[in-house]
Amino acid sequence: MEAVVEQSITRDAPVHLEGLGKEYGHFTALKALDLTVAQGTSLGFLGPNGAGKSTTIKIMTNLIRPSRGRASLFGIDVRREPTRALARIGAVIETPEFYGYLSPVETLAYAGRLRGMSSKDLHNRSEAVLKEVKLTDWADHRIQEFSKGMKQRLAIAQSLLNEPDLLILDEPTSGLDPRGMAEVRDVIKSLKDQGRTIFMSSHLLGEVQEVCDDVALLNHGELLIRGSVRELSRGADTSLIQATFLLSATPQDLEALATLPGVEEVKASGDSTVDLRISGGEEGQARVLEAMIGRGLKVITYRPLGSSLEQLYLDRIQESDRL
Ligand SMILES: Nc1ncnc2c1ncn2[C@@H]1O[C@H](COP(=O)(O)OP(=O)(O)O)[C@@H](O)[C@H]1O
Ligand SMILES: [Mg+2]
């Protein structure tokens, strides 16, 4: 009984991909991707350039057809019933070109009328979505004055017009300057905090960690990691730690550090600073710190250099690049 319930939840999930594959000529861009995104989750679809992220997203939004497998949104097959499947989603696939002489309000009015929205609906929704992307003060300015980041936020506003239950964003911060990236991330975070379901691709792990609850790592058209950012960060085994001591560490200290259980590598990176590669996750980190203090080393700072998820990410990408 339980299994039946679970299956129907999976099938009706906002995103459900089964054995999805794509060939461009003889080149396999996507092998056989299985991926489900549950209601209310924000998934970071992570992978280096060429991993197959856009290919997946284009199949999900019916811009291209898969070579095999199927994609469904809210239980509706994208190829069989594209209109119905796409009715509940908003998507920003490539930054759309806006007419520079129009304002956001005019642009949204145009987009809304194309979708058959009533003027009253349009007025309300337009105000609401501009607020969501923090463009209220710019509502009547010409888009030609806008930065790339502002245009991207307008694109997100446009995708929110129909109050979608699922938002699909393909590399929403790519090509933006640091400030533009931060502003777009803020907008996505606040959408996530409202409990919206988000499927966002990115090649930046840091961005995914900042914005998303879950992560799926893709490389060479294959899924390498799938899980929650929290669990994966906790579970990833090795981490890099930088420790600073009150007095400079002697060669004997370094040797002693290297023999501590869990310490895999020690490198002096300054007079009183060492970099340690430690196994055993967060517990391992805590044990090593304890042991250092136990040996009379006066530790003043002890901080992760890269998250353990970063380590896991790099390891898996390297492994799959080697194959
Ligand atoms: N229309 C196409 N024709 C041929 N090869 C393509 C086409 N689109 C993408 N590719 C190739 O498929 C692979 C995956 O591309 P893509 O899905 O765009 O990756 P990502 O979005 O992760 O960077 C890349 O090697 C890319 O060069
Ligand atoms: Mg892409």
Domain boundaries, given as residue ranges, for the chain: 2-230, 237-306
Position 319 scores a pLDDT of: 86
Closest C-alpha to 39, from 59, 9, 76: 9
Q: With contact defined as beta carbons under 8 Å apart, do 203 and 125 qualify?
A: no
Closest CA to ligand 1's atom 18: 54
Topology of the domain comprising 237-306: Alpha-Beta Plaits (3.30.70)
Q: How many CB atoms lie within 10 A of CB 144?
A: 10
Question: pLDDT tens per residue, the chain (323 residues)?
Answer: 444 555 566 779 999 999 999 999 999 999 999 999 999 999 999 999 999 999 999 999 999 999 999 999 999 999 999 999 999 999 999 777 899 999 999 999 999 998 888 989 999 999 999 999 999 999 999 999 999 999 999 999 999 999 999 999 999 999 999 999 999 999 999 999 999 999 999 999 989 988 999 999 999 999 999 999 887 776 667 778 899 999 887 888 888 889 888 898 898 888 889 999 888 878 888 999 998 888 888 999 998 876 667 777 888 888 888 87
pTM summary value: 0.82
Q: Are strands 239-245 and 273-278 parallel, antiparallel or unpaired?
A: antiparallel
d(CA 218, ligand 2 centre) in Å: 12
Position 2 scores a pLDDT of: 46
d(CA 318, ligand 1 centre) in Å: 20
* DSSP structure class, residue 98: P
- The pick from 30, 33, 54, 58 for probing ligand 1's pocket by mutation, whose C-beta has the most ligand atoms within 8 angstroms, reads 54
Query: Is the CB–ligand 1 distance for residue 53 below 6 Å?
Result: yes
2-230: what CATH class?
Answer: alpha beta
Closest CA to ligand 1's atom 7: 24
Position 5 scores a pLDDT of: 52
Position 1 scores a pLDDT of: 45
- The pick from 17, 20, 23, 27 for probing ligand 1's pocket by mutation, whose C-beta has the most ligand atoms within 8 angstroms, reads 27
CA distance 205 to 46: 7
CA distance 68 to 206: 32
Position 7 scores a pLDDT of: 52
Q: Which atom of ligand 1 is nearest to the CA of 52?
A: 17
